[in-house]
Amino acid sequence: MASTNIETLLGQLSLEEKVFLLSGVDIWQTQEVSRLGIGSIKTTDGPSGARGKFAVDGPSAAFVPGPVCQAATWSKTQMQDLGRLLCREAKTKAAHVLLAPTICCARNPLGGRNFECFGEDPFLSGSLAVEYIHGVQESGEISATAKHFVANEQEYERFSIDAKISEKALREIYLKPFEMIIRSQSPPDCIMTSYNVVNGEHMDQNAPIIRDVLRGEWGFKGLVMSDWGGTNSTLESLIAGLDLEMPGPPEKRGKILLQAIEGNPTTEVLEALDVSVARVLSLARKFNLLGLSPELAKKSRDREEISSTTKEDTKLMREMAASGIVLLKNSSQTLPLKLENLAGKQVAFIGPNALLGTPGGGGSASMNPQYLSRPMESFKAVAETLGTDLSVKYALGAHALKWLPLFEKDHWASNTSVDTQEKSMVQIEFFASTDLSGPVAETQFRDSSNIDLSDSAPLEFQVDPVPPYSFRVSSSVVPSISGMHSFSLSSVGGSKLFVDGEPVVDNSNWDNPGETFYSFGSAECIRTKFMEAGKSYRVAIEGWVNTDSIAHKSSSDDVNHVFSSNPSVRIGFSQPIPDAETLITEAVALSNESEVTIVVLGLSDEWESEGYDRQSMALPGDQDKLVEALLKRTAQPEKLIFVNQSGSPVELPWIDGVSTFIQAWYGGQEAGNALADVLFGTVNPSGRLPITWPRRYADLPFSSDSQSWPGVDGTVLYKEESQVGYRWYSHQADVQPQWWFGYGLSFTNFTSTISTVSASEDYWTISVTVENSGHLAGQEVVQLYIWQVEQPEERALVGFEKTPTIQPTKTATVGVEIHKRDVACWNENKWVLHKGGYVLGVGTGHEGMVRT
């Protein structure tokens, strides 16, 4: 019988088997050793839900509110409940390891993955991550993976950028949330290293941080894995303490590592090998993947993925999305909407996100949701449940697209699988050649025209190096209007698009890199064709491996990265669209004939994604023009309700003329329902900003200093030191943010007072009394900041709690423990609590601060 004892297994494993255990076998799973009954560990993204093994068009999964929305709840209870939900979801995807949470700190509002983290403050991020991880790992069935360790605050040159950070800033800001979770009672089982370099050393081989700090100083006993394609060395990463290279097939390990060890079998190398193998085996043992029969070990990679979410899970997602919504302006008391005023009236929904909404960001946070609740449709549905009969009409108002839209089912005829009789939007045929010659190797059917093959190519092509192969995507389109229609291609490798056999788009030998496919794809190539309404057109796209393309020569940073190896293609299509002024005129007219106008603006997963940063803080497209026209040309501008959906701040040059403004973030599959709950007052908004909101990007030091952002000659300097977000604004005499970190309004009024302070050796216990002096029940977030008497600009968040629901005229008392270590500063290689007086303040967003 196969052993479950790690020491025994270490003695039985051959050198080759040990080495192969330290790298993935495919994009999501580790290598099994069937001879010894060792099964394969399966991982899954990620930040917005347990997605499973396909980035696009896989089994559906619960699409939870985005991490920045999670953070905006400031709710430790909800974070723990969310962790439990994600544990259950990961099990439906037959996974063992959830690749989340992301706890990097949002350094610059243009960071492409800001939506994927918990905001700018290390204490808030670490505190929420502790609860999240506890929820994920509580049952012992799923492991959490905190990432990206460390200083992955930008996507520009993310595989190679050298982040130069002082020890003080590194300790006080960027390492702190990781330290908090490692030192907690429920540390994560896994840590994922970041792609970037920190102070001259790639993180996968950064021994001073991995070996000395993470493992030595903090005592982390779990597994350290690389980000996908983020292993940059062979022996160096092993010695530094990186246990697992992901994904597979390996690039720096596998046979390369085996040869390196055989050529240099020192005691240091062999001991490091055994230690890392033991960590992989320990994780496998947690999931009962040791002691298997050889047959079960072989089958451990063949697990069915399903989708299953309970009513309780759906309720939590809706509550959490609503709890994260932040009310930022309500000066005319337009909200909550009064049902009696809307009966029999018309409500206008306007804006690029009003109809479809935007549930989440892109990259590893992409999801195939079980369903989506849309802003306008959810508003109508909630109104109906509340017994209000009203009319809702829609106008686009402005475009905010980055690329042509993907195929929509309304325009595309279905393809039917012969084997399963399933109807899908596109059919894909694969060929073991680069010119689509020879027999069809495999046929797939999908419902997305974003054909990402990095994790879904036929198994015979998922090897290293990727062999020559090609594919044909087929579908049929039936336009609803006549005119010039637009098609687009962006691809990794070469691609062409044909309509009824006629070549329309040729992207064969592109030399203009773009931002699709994690910035390994080409820029979008757009061409137009006249098409008649009601006529069916056959559309075919050909794609192939092209080793001569720029993606294989100089794309991004890494010529052999997992995301640049497989040919992939994004296919866009657009019917004729009205010009900008026509869209605005239609929107203004609709607003003027409506009782209330709800304008839903913002970004999307095209603008905020893994792989690239935003180039501007401005709202894309003509959204600003739309808002200015509505404010100027609408008869009653106070009846305009503006909603922004984004994962990070946007510039709002018109905000002073707006009376009602909501930040709704990315709310996942319950985004529309949650927004409706807040608009109608079914939920009293209790979200608070987890980031500071600048008025203008030009106000920030990054705007005029390319060394600080995005970097020069492969190096980015963290010149602001520990002054990130509100800490930087606290030091400015002439620059104020639009809204401070922690800010947020309610439909009622709260007053918070520090009632008692008691001290022990390690912490202070603070009692805060919160009174609801308004007319509606609601929740408040108690935020405690501290600073030295002589240095008021050095204030920092050191404690917070969310109250239970407080009824009007009632009070609630919450207790908050402030650990003295969280007040300390890093000084001369140690944490120091300075002597002298401290000031403690309770308030929201630096406003209404009460001192004691």
Active site residues: 227
Nearest to 356 by CA among 384, 375, 328: 375
Beta bridge partners, 190, equal 145, 223
3-state secondary structure of 395: strand
Q: What's the DSSP call for residue 163?
A: E
User: What's the Cα-to-Cα distance from 734 to each of 493, 622, 699, 728, rounded to whole Å?
Assistant: 50, 31, 10, 12
Buried b (16+ CB within 10 A) or exposed e, 829-849: eeeeeeeeebbbbbbbbbeeb
d(C-alpha 738, C-alpha 59), whole Å: 41
Q: What's the DSSP call for residue 755?
A: E
d(C-alpha 588, C-alpha 597), whole Å: 10
Q: How far apart are the first and last CA of the chain?
A: 66
Q: Scan for tokens 């839903």, then name that residue.
A: 600
At a CB cut-off of 8 Å and minimum separation 6, what does 527 contact? 486, 487, 488, 497, 504, 505
d(C-alpha 501, C-alpha 256), whole Å: 46
User: What's the Cα-to-Cα distance from 824 to each of 548, 770, 789, 820, rounded to whole Å?
Assistant: 55, 28, 15, 6
Nearest to 682 by CA among 331, 338, 316: 338
d(C-alpha 473, C-alpha 308), whole Å: 30
d(C-alpha 436, C-alpha 544), whole Å: 8
Buried b (16+ CB within 10 A) or exposed e, 802-825: bbeebeeeeebebebebeeebbeb
At a CB cut-off of 8 Å and minimum separation 6, what does 828 contact? none
Contact 112, 132 (CB under 8 A): no
Q: At what angle do helices 76-92 and 311-324 cross, to 10 degrees?
A: 140
DSSP secondary structure string, 447-466? S-SEE--TTTS-GGG-SSSP
d(C-alpha 414, C-alpha 445), whole Å: 10
Nearest to 217 by CA among 153, 167, 162, 144: 167
In which element (H, E) is residue 356 found? none
What the block records as the tokens of 196 is 């970037």
What the block records as the tokens of 291 is 């002691």
Three-state secondary structure readout of 568-616: EEEEEEECCCCCHHHHHHHHHHHHHCCCEEEEEEECCCCCCECCECCCC
φ and ψ at residue 851, rounded to 5 degrees: -110, 150
d(C-alpha 60, C-alpha 53), whole Å: 11
3-state secondary structure of 662: strand
Contact 543, 493 (CB under 8 A): yes
Q: How many CB atoms lie within 10 A of CB 169?
A: 20
d(C-alpha 244, C-alpha 204), whole Å: 10
Contact 389, 344 (CB under 8 A): yes
Q: Scan for tokens 């029940």, then name that residue.
A: 777
What the block records as the tokens of 396 is 């686009």
